[in-house]
Amino acid sequence: MRKKFSNEKLIKNNKYKLTSCFVLILLTIIIVSNANTAYAIFSESDTETLGPNTASIINIVGCNANDIINVEYEIISGTSLDVYLREGVTLMLMGAPSSYIKKDNDSNQGKWSYTVTTDDSDYSVIFLNDGTESSTVRYTITRGSALGNILDYLYIILIVVAVVVVVGAVIARTIIKKRKSVEPELKSEPTTQTIVKPLPEVEKKFLSCPECGKKLLEGSAFCIECGHQL
C-alpha cells in the first residue's frame, strides 16, 4: 500500500536544519560587519589616560583619495575631551589646534568617518584634555579603502550563498531518502518465454480414381473429377 507523503511533515522534521541555516547567516553578517579592520591599511585601538592640559596624538600618514578614516571613542572615566581631526602630521601641540577638519567639543563618546579627497596626504587625530581632571579614553581609529567595504559585502553574499547551498543540499538529500523509504520502487518480475515448436508435417498419401485416373487423397469417398464412388 502506498503511503501519503507530506511536504509539511518534511519541513517540520527539518526545522532545526533551517534554523541552523539562518543562525549561521546571522552570525556571518555580524562577524563580517565588525571585521572592517581586516581590510584596513591603518588600524589602532588603545586605551589612554590623559592628565589635565595634555593631549594624545595619532598620526595617519600616506592616505590616498577615497580612503575612509573611521574614528570611534568613548570616555571610560574622568572629564570629557575635545577630539580633532586635522590635515597634516602633528608632532607637538601647544594648546588647541587652530585649524582642523572635524571637532567634537566636550564629548564623552563619538563615532564618525571622513573620506580623503587627495592622494599622498597625512592626517592626525587629537584627543585634548583641557580640563582640570584626568580622563581615560578608549578609541579605535582605522583607515581603509572603499574596496574594503565592497569586499565586505561580497564576502557576506558568498558566505550566505554557500550556507544556503549546503543546507539546501542536506535537506534535499533527506527528502529523497524519505521518499525512497515510503515509496519503494516496484521491481519488475522476470518474464518467461514460451518456445513454440512447429508440428511435424504429416506425410500425405494419394490414390488414383479407377474411372478417370484423377489423383485423390487417400480416404476420399468420391472422385472430385468424375464423381465415381470409391
- Give the domain ranges of the chain: 7-31+151-182, 37-144
Report the pLDDT value the prediction gives residue 195, as an integer from 0 to 100.
72
CA distance 45 to 52: 22
Distance between terminal CA atoms of the chain? 72
Indicate the pairing of strand 40-50 with strand 102-107. unpaired
Least confident of 13-17, 74-78, 100-104, 137-141: 13-17
Considering the chain, what percentage of its residues have pLDDT values greater than 90?
Answer: 35
Q: Are 139 and 104 contacting, i.e. CB atoms less than 8 angstroms apart?
A: no
If one compares 155 and 88, the residue with the highest pLDDT of the two is: 88
In words, the CATH class of domain 37-144 is mainly beta
| pLDDT for 58 beyond 50 | yes
Least confident of 71-80, 96-105, 150-159: 150-159
Model confidence pLDDT, tens digit, residues 171-218: 777 777 766 666 555 555 556 666 766 666 666 677 788 888 777 777
3-state secondary structure 22-83: HHHHHHHHHHHHCCHHHHEEEEEEEEEEECCCEEEEEEEEEECCCCEEEEEEEEEEECCEEE
| pLDDT for 33 beyond 80 | no
> Across all residues in the chain, what is the average pLDDT?
78
Residue 149 backbone dihedrals phi, psi, to 5 degrees: -65, -40
The residue type of 19 is T
Question: Could you give the C-alpha distances from 40 to 47, 142, 172, 196, in angstroms and in order?
Answer: 20, 6, 40, 88
| Top-confidence range, 39-53, 91-105, 117-131 | 117-131
Cell 518467461 appears where?
192
Q: Are 69 and 142 contacting, i.e. CB atoms less than 8 angstroms apart?
A: yes
Bridge partners for 57 per DSSP: 126
Report the pLDDT value the prediction gives residue 157, as an integer from 0 to 100.
76
Report the pLDDT value the prediction gives residue 207, as an integer from 0 to 100.
75
By C-alpha distance, which of 64, 62, 75 is closest to 106?
A: 75
CA distance 204 to 206: 7
Least confident of 158-162, 166-170, 176-180: 176-180
Find the farthest-apart pair of alpha carbons in the chain and give their distance in angstroms, rounded.
161
